Chain A
């Protein structure tokens, strides 16, 4: 009885809070269209940022004006009019649907295949009243999130939106922001530095092993996505953290251009595992619409024996331009890159990594699996650089491409620059077509063509998928199958 009353009160309280949230939605404000110093000032002001942050943004903006878009990637990028876009809007209101029946049947089918519960589907699709129906779900996630926060706090882990972190931990943010990806690093990183909307800040103190996968948190707060995300992860001496971003559910967004920056700073003996599942809207079969995803991700293995491992499953976006990299400065530090990039229809991906060996005895591993179907183009571009003072460096690179059909392309562009003769560099590359023999063998055992392709493709990508946290590995497997639908038979 008592319990029930308490529950009802809590729910009422939450419903009230929610109404407040709704009111502020109505009052949302947009920055004026276009990009200028005023836009940058507006964003910074909206967020109540300190002076140094505004100055940092403005410096980036001025630098950006002098820069040019990249052109070396094997991508056909349409002209982007940077003045014809909004750079700041409070959380966007998606069009409301009266029921799930109004949802694009293709998206709905995908939700079902991924096994997303009906109520969660309604929230994702923004069905009228779904929030109220899902009060329980919201209630649960709020309480779970609170539990997480308590646990993280106890461990001393700071895990906040970057806007909050700028307010609450200005010295920490100031010290590390831009220390791994300098503002002028490239056109898109520079743009991000000027106008980043929000993102995440993580600090793991010395000797702390983060008590949970930070993925778990994200799965219940899946709305943390944005056009210009900024993520900063600092792992202090001897600490460990595993972080997962992204979502297997298909994500649509009115903003076509996405330019995120992720920086990871690893001190002595620290280890960071960063996993991504990216399923932004890829455009339709003819290549209309779809997200342009220009991402700069870099880790600095600053301390001795530090280790950073990137794992990515890239299935979405019309254009993907992304090279999660490791600067291996600390002696004996380790960098890893595991990637599955799948392109179908008219998608284009140019993705890979850079492993820069500065310190002695540094090691790196690169495993890239590219899958191309339809009329898509999929390029692996990777750099392994060994500087003169880096003794006894080891690198192993394996780069496999799988083709489905005869209208797609797979390209491998490895750059290897070795300035120290003690280095051991291995590079293996294969390109294969999904074989008729394999397909027929699997079908003769009872699998239909699509399941057979999904199985073979998952086998091909297995080395990478097994690096993902368990619950995401399962979803990522399903996602690969779904992304290839219609590409055979």
Chain B
């Protein structure tokens, strides 16, 4: 299949358990370069588990199947190696790290990635310039990034900061786990524009995990998949998302 051949991310018959409980039950997915795919589904269908398995969170055990990223066995890599390979996870609940400034955190992370890829590290000056540009593009004051990572940030600020991180890291592929939750209408638009700006490119890909259709009006997905009970039950285009918004998941089951 040519689609598979092109795929940035291929997930094949993935089964995963958390604390011994099966959550993903044979999930398959192909995201070709240049496309944005949305995954929608009810609570508990396995959306976040998929995101964590792809990023390598400990405790999320793959019992069957696999995933490749640009043809490499993704599951054989440590989380930081996946980041260096170009995978980015936008967290549903970004984590606080007291005492560590955002700028320090991101500079160390980015330079660790660059070292792993054999690229030169960015100097302090180069990094600040990059960070300022990305923060401004997302309507965030650079002063915010001098504060400790996510400490005292509102829900919306945390999500926006995730997008600033994505802009700084410039990943090849982003898994965005409910990046739209907790955003008001203006913030949703800014974040949507950010995703388009950073990730819409012929060599990049996005997996957009969401409950609601509204983010998809800003970031038009090429495909929409419905995740239910740990596997994809339907796929379609944006119309599928609109149907879901109107009728709910129960109707589709």
Contacts and interface: CB of A to CB of B under 8 A. Distances in A.
Interface of A: 435-438, 440-449, 451-452, 455-456, 458-463
A444 B116 CA distance: 14
Nearest to B148: A459
What 4 A-B pairs are tightest by C-beta distance, nearest first? Answer: A459-B99, A462-B99, A459-B100, A445-B109
Given A459-B98, A460-B98, A440 B80 contact: no
A437 B112 contact: no
Given A449-B80, A452-B80, 17 more contacts: A436-B58, A438-B96, A438-B97, A440-B55, A440-B57, A440-B95, A443-B56, A443-B79, A444-B57, A446-B112, A448-B80, A456-B97, A456-B100, A459-B98, A459-B148, A462-B99, A462-B100
A444 B106 CA distance: 11
Contacts of A451: 108, 112
B84 interface: yes
19 contacts: A438-B95, A438-B97, A443-B78, A444-B57, A444-B83, A444-B91, A445-B105, A446-B112, A447-B109, A447-B112, A448-B78, A449-B78, A451-B108, A455-B105, A459-B97, A459-B98, A459-B99, A460-B98, A461-B99
Nearest to A455: B100
Contacts of A460: 98-99
B179 interface: no
Nearest to A436: B58
Contact of B109 (A446, A449, A458, A462): A446
B94 interface: yes
Nearest to A445: B109
A445 B100 contact: no
**Binding site secondary structure of chain A:** helix
Contacts of A455: 97, 100, 104-105, 108
Given A436-B58, A448-B80, A459-B148, A442 B99 contact: no
A442 B105 contact: yes
Contacts of B110: 446
Interface band, chain B:
20 to 34
B165 interface: yes
A446 B105 contact: no
A449 B112 CA distance: 12
Nearest to B114: A446
B97 A441 contact: yes
Contacts of B97: 438, 441-442, 455-456, 459
Contact of B112 (A438, A448, A456, A458): A448
A159 B97 CA distance: 42
A437 B148 CA distance: 16
A449 B81 CA distance: 11
B169 interface: yes
A447 B99 contact: no
Which of A437, A459, A462 is most buried by chain B, counting CB atoms within 10 A of its CB?
Answer: A459
Interface in B11-33: none
A445 B86 CA distance: 10
Interface string B55-82: 1111100000000000000000011101
